A and B are shown apart, each in its own frame.
Chain A
Amino acid sequence: MRIKPLLLIVAGFIYLMVPGGCNQDELCLSNQHALQTGFYSAFNVKRDSVLKNTDVYGLDFNNLIYENQDISKMFLPLSFQDDTSVFVISNNSLFDTIWVVHSKELLFISRECGFTFDFTIDTVLYTKTFVDSVALFYPKVIYGENVENVKIYLY
């Protein structure tokens, strides 16, 4: 058998002309460092609860995470700089504060998405104005997971 020279040269030409590798842009997820919480009634733990006209913000931080919204769940971004992230929930001039004590671990996601932190929640502390109790349900905040971490039971 003999290979036709022209065909191999043409194959080489095609090789040179067509860029190698598939450059598929990977979808990078956002807000993956947020603690997921849900509101529940303290009197009927199976029933979701909604806080109306609610503001949520980080302590000593002017920006609002939620502004005058009716919310049944919250995504609370955790701080990269501090080991405790503190959030204030304001509802009809009543305030409750939640302290989320956490540790973090650097994670390299991929070459397209770069780095992020995964978190382990150690403790959740809270005031009891309209919050009855808080249960840490799943202590890991991990890139790519969509799990409710904390259940907040309301009066």
Chain B
Amino acid sequence: MLKMLRYIFISLSLGAGIVAGAQVQKEKWQPSKGFTLGVNVAGPVNKAFDKSRSGISFLSRMSVKDQMMFLAEAGYENVSFSKKRYHYTSNGTFLKAGLEYDVFKEKEAGSNDNLLFGLHYGYALQEQSASYFIIENGYWDDYTGSIGTNTVNTHWIELTGGPRMELFKNFYIAWTFHIKVAIYRDNPNILAPYLIPGFGNGDNRLNAGFSYTMEYLIPWKKGKTK
């Protein structure tokens, strides 16, 4: 619920900002082109709220056409915790790639801001194990056991949307809303992953989430007025 409220608030705020910006006199402006190197701070933020998780990812966006960008992201996410019913460890990496379309067609002079909607493919490879688990019987003896290390491959498709802006020259910040649908996962019956790197909750086939990124643009073509 908090997540939804947060999304609504952010959307309304940005919507207001975009409308305000649209009233400014426009010139035919061709924005900078190049590729960015950036970091997704979702991993460190998650770590701050959930000590059992650690991870980070790095991304790059590259201009393909006037309003089209190619995005690639790679990162890792590890989980380790002990619950009453089981102890769990997972180490994994993920890759994402896809195209993003900038719906800001007419930009005001000097603006390199974007409102990006994208379609990405994601893949995660992780090793997980449960070094201990207990099943309580309530009458007969309880059962304790362990699950050895097993490998899980997950593939998913992701729809994204969100604004990106140039905060300082060539330095961008962006937040993105993600809807992710798992299309394939192997080893589903041994132990469903607690968390799939880059995808989220392993119990769900459909996950939604936010990311917040910071990027630095290495331009090969500077923005200019036509």
Contacts and interface: CB of A to CB of B under 8 A. Distances in A.
Contacts of B9: 14
Interface string B34-64: 0000000010011011000000000000000
Contacts of A19: 2, 49
B113 A1 contact: yes
A130 B218 CA distance: 87
Given A10-B13, A20-B3, A111-B194, A33 B137 contact: yes
A20 B49 contact: yes
A14 B167 CA distance: 17
A7 B17 contact: yes
Most chain B CB neighbours (cut-off 10 Å) among A5, A7, A8:
A8
A20 B209 CA distance: 8
Given A20-B42, A85-B140, A3 B6 contact: no
A112 B210 CA distance: 23
Nearest to A64: B139
A3 B135 CA distance: 54
B202 to A, nearest CB: 7
Contact of B173 (A12, A33, A81, A115): A12
Interface in A103-155: 106, 108, 110-111, 113-117
A21 B208 CA distance: 9
